[in-house]
Chains A and B, each alone.
Chain A
């Protein structure tokens, strides 16, 4: 009896040991039930969701940390000034300095030639970080100054491959021959160059003049580097800021990283949102599994209440089970994420993957919290009902749990999910767009699924045997079928869309180009070379576009007000404001351009440039501004209209111009295209080089090495190679997203399995009844297969419809491509759907056909 008393006191007084006991009991019950289907699905769905989130989390974190950790090393200096013109006068300072000149030029070896980014450096470059040079390709290399010995260059591996060259070979740059003295393995800012198109060459600053490639109007970037103690650096930066104009840029090691990080953050955010969709699909699977878990545990909860468990204890007991599963799933998901991110890094950053820092701890926290939030959001409503089971249920099994206020459970799961979405989307606008798009998509999918099921009804009527039985099952479990269909359609649709975007847009665009569309751009044609170039081309019977003169200038004001001040904050980041524009002039409206508003300026000539007029100063009546035509997209972005007066800064001069027309431009015409076209007259006196495009038939490609040798300063841009490069980058990014879509497909399958498990008891009952009535196992098996294959085929067909519509919209709205159908899609998606849904469905339900009816009846008891 003393034993009894002891136990009773403990129960009534709730010492800490009591809660501990409930915890232990919860874990014990969980361990005993670990084999149950719903726990497995819940865990699997969680692993998939956390896996997709941690994959992108790990990778994003590694890249961001790579940027931060490299800091000054990344910039090659503590302070960097970039300028399109040389800067001679600097504020007084006692800092270490280095200067470099960067420009693009053709590098050739024999008949092979390639556009490269050349950086002419002095002995001090780089001031921070290191350059590693190897004697042979694919070696680790040693740390050396970036400046090669006289008469030599260092080139990166890519250039060597493109030119089929080796260390020690000679290459021609402009008019000078250089020997390749080593392979560039590592240089400051290399991560930035991951998506760069042109291979890198280092040469000595004092060797540049021999090449004779630099001419007035050439696109050059002067890089001035400074390093020193923080205080003198800060003083120097302050003094410098006021002296730089809008074309010049000052970057501290932090700004350098920030710029990159900003660019990266956008890409990162979209990858993360893709991961979030997988997580949300997993949430659907978890919610269904949790619901079924609760249904199957009402009796258990009632029994525990009979035995004296209080609401708080039941809450603790089931919460500890969920938390344990949540942590297990998160750990497994994080482990999978750690493996997958390496694959993803290999796809996105093949060159730099080895240099990324090791895995960080922060994404683990993010992934685990995401997993737990998703789990909480998905399973709280079911859990809340479970702990409100009346104990009387042990006597009256039909008693449902006490209802939980709908707003309470909606609030619990809704806020958890909203926190998740808000966390990933970042800003309120994106949250709105994401939630809106998701709601619309879910609505459309449900509608489509319902329509498809109605069509299935028609098919069912005319079918017979197991197929009729299978379709009847599909239609009977209408809610489940809609859910399964919706989830799987979404997954297949997104996979298909990406595949189409990759293959279709690039191919489609290529296909619609006229047969002899220009395939080379000739850039940097000096005024005195124009006639010789024209003669050379006609001598070789090559068809070239008109020559367009180009002057680089920056748009600085509108109607006398700095342009940025006329725009809402979100539009101030426009590319057209951040970089110099290529300005041209012509009297003839270029082919592929169409005037949308105003009148084309034609031959009207304007007055000479207004030299030295400060930005924003009123323009004199006697200086009628030039007439210009602006591209419609730019006009929209910058809120420009016919009649507006714009101010451009070209070198140290300010030009005033008035918009007289707005033009549409067919950017993919492969012709030189311009945002701003001046009427002839105003820019004529400025240093200009020209650009032209030319079609070189593949058989005549041998002409080009000769052209490069004859005109060493002219840059020949191979559009084919440029497109191939764009395609390669595109393929990298899409490959990465497709890897994430693997998670999405898995999450879709988890939804199918979860919904099937939820209906398993009812299905088992039906199967038992049918077998008792004489149905053979094969009949039931065929019925199940028919049901799941029909579901998969339907999902595939719906996904095909969605993908075709989305592609048509993308192609028409964004790329102006003709409508195209994809017959293979209509075969591939239903087949993939049938296979994936069929397999997951059959694996989940196959045992119900195998259990002898007697055993089944007893189990249902």
Chain B
């Protein structure tokens, strides 16, 4: 489903070249759940961005959904993501002008689903927010916003969901409920789930964990 070989990311800084990721090797199978963990600045989010095709590595290869990302330009990578990959972000990334239902509709409309509205309504119900369909993000709590974001990520029936610190902006209780929801939905639709977290509780729910220290894989083990 996703594979990375000798993946490195280096950026120029005032003090010289900074290696954010070095020689990362990774293979994730369909339906697998993987947690990428590590301290702040260890390169977790960078790795997630590279695996999802949001950025290009300095060196190494990534194969995503059977395609070598190095062979694709920015637009071709976008086309590859359309409808096949879902995202959940730490800061939710809901569009403030759209209601909860409309935020879920957005990727469906973009992918041109003819039953977009039914699917969006269905997924809003799955995350327990049917009553809040017409509310804008400003009228929702942080936990509710993240539930809308999760519904949006799963609404297109993606093959992979990438989640970046999905509980990072939430309190412990809310975070726990969000974790439950995420894994429950993941189990029911058998999506591959790759998430970045420094929350051990969350990481422990994944089948595998990839621990990064200063951009290198320190430990890759079953949770």
Contact = CB atoms under 8 A, between A and B. Distances in A.
- A and B found bound together: yes
Interface of A: 3-4, 7-8, 10-12, 17-18, 21-22, 24-25, 28-29, 32-33, 35-36, 299-300, 303-312, 390-392, 394-397, 858-859, 861
Tell me the interface secondary structure of chain A in the complex.
Answer: helix
A391 B78 contact: yes
Given A25-B110, A395-B164, 12 more contacts: A3-B113, A11-B83, A18-B112, A300-B95, A304-B110, A306-B54, A307-B81, A307-B106, A311-B74, A311-B75, A392-B54, A395-B48
Given A307-B106, A395-B164, A7 B83 contact: yes
Contacts of A32: 97-98, 102
A17 B84 CA distance: 19
Contacts of A8: 82-84
Nearest to B46: A395
Interface in B116-138: 138
Contact of A308 (B78, B98, B115, B157): B78
A390 B109 contact: no
B87 interface: yes
A36 B97 contact: yes
B177 interface: no
Given A33-B97, A395-B89, A859-B138, A307 B84 contact: no
B81 A7 contact: no
A307 B97 CA distance: 18
A21 B112 CA distance: 7
Contacts of A392: 49, 54-55
A395 B111 contact: no
B91 interface: yes
Contacts of B55: 390-392
A21 B114 CA distance: 11
B45 A396 contact: yes
- The 9 A-B residue pairs with the shortest CB-CB distance, nearest first, are A308-B82, A310-B75, A391-B54, A33-B97, A308-B81, A392-B54, A307-B107, A11-B82, A392-B55
Nearest to B103: A303
Which of the listed residues A7, A299, A307, A859 has the most CB atoms from chain B within 10 Å of its own CB? Answer: A307
A36 B55 CA distance: 31
A305 B109 CA distance: 14
Contacts of A10: 112
Contacts of B115: 3
A87 B43 CA distance: 101
Interface of B: 45, 48-49, 52, 54-55, 74-75, 78-85, 87, 89, 91, 93, 95, 97-98, 102, 106-107, 109-113, 115, 138, 156-157, 164
B82 A307 contact: yes
Contact of A12 (B48, B79, B85): B79
A12 B78 CA distance: 10
Contacts, number: 103
Nearest to B83: A7
A861 B91 CA distance: 9
Given A12-B79, A36-B97, A308 B110 contact: yes
A565 B145 CA distance: 82
Contacts of B52: 306
A395 B93 CA distance: 10
Nearest to A297: B95
A59 B91 CA distance: 55
7 contacts: A3-B113, A21-B109, A29-B97, A306-B52, A307-B106, A310-B79, A392-B55
A394 B87 contact: yes
B109 A28 contact: yes
B96 to A, nearest CB: 9
Contacts of B107: 307-308
A299 B93 contact: yes
B76 to A, nearest CB: 8
A12 B102 CA distance: 24
Contacts of A309: 78, 82, 110
A26 to B, nearest CB: 11
Contacts of B97: 29, 32-33, 35-36
Contacts of B48: 395
A215 B48 CA distance: 103
A202 B78 CA distance: 81
Contacts of A311: 74-75
Given A307-B82, A308-B79, A391-B54, A11 B45 contact: no
A482 B37 CA distance: 50
Contacts of B74: 311, 391
A306 B83 CA distance: 10
B98 A21 contact: no
A310 B74 CA distance: 8
Given A7-B112, A21-B109, A304-B110, A395 B83 contact: no
Contacts of B113: 3, 7
Contacts of B164: 395
A396 to B, nearest CB: 7
A307 B156 CA distance: 10
B109 A395 contact: no
A768 to B, nearest CB: 15
Nearest to B152: A307
A266 B93 CA distance: 57
A305 B78 contact: yes
Nearest to A307: B107
Contacts of A3: 113, 115, 157
A394 B110 contact: no
Contact of B109 (A24, A391, A397, A859): A24
B78 A310 contact: yes
Contacts of A35: 97
Contact of A397 (B75, B81, B91): B91
B75 A303 contact: no
B95 A303 contact: yes
A498 B85 CA distance: 63
Contacts of A858: 138
A96 B98 CA distance: 76
A309 B156 CA distance: 14
Contacts of B45: 395-396
A304 B45 CA distance: 19
Contacts of A312: 75
Contacts of A390: 54-55
Given A310-B75, A394-B89, A17 B112 contact: yes
A304 B79 CA distance: 11
A60 B54 CA distance: 55
Contacts of A33: 97
B35 to A, nearest CB: 17
Given A394-B54, A395-B164, A4 B157 contact: yes
A778 B103 CA distance: 38
Contacts of B156: 7
Nearest to A34: B97
Contacts of A22: 110
A397 B45 CA distance: 12
Contacts of A28: 109
A32 B95 CA distance: 10
A24 B116 CA distance: 13
B188 to A, nearest CB: 15
A188 B222 CA distance: 100
A397 B92 CA distance: 12
B111 A7 contact: yes
B55 to A, nearest CB: 5
Contacts of B83: 4, 7-8, 11, 308
Nearest to B53: A391
Contacts of A304: 106, 110
A32 B85 CA distance: 25
A390 B75 CA distance: 11
A299 B75 CA distance: 18
Contacts of A306: 52, 54, 81, 87
Nearest to B106: A307
Contacts of A36: 97
Nearest to B89: A394
Contacts of B106: 25, 304, 307
A175 B30 CA distance: 115
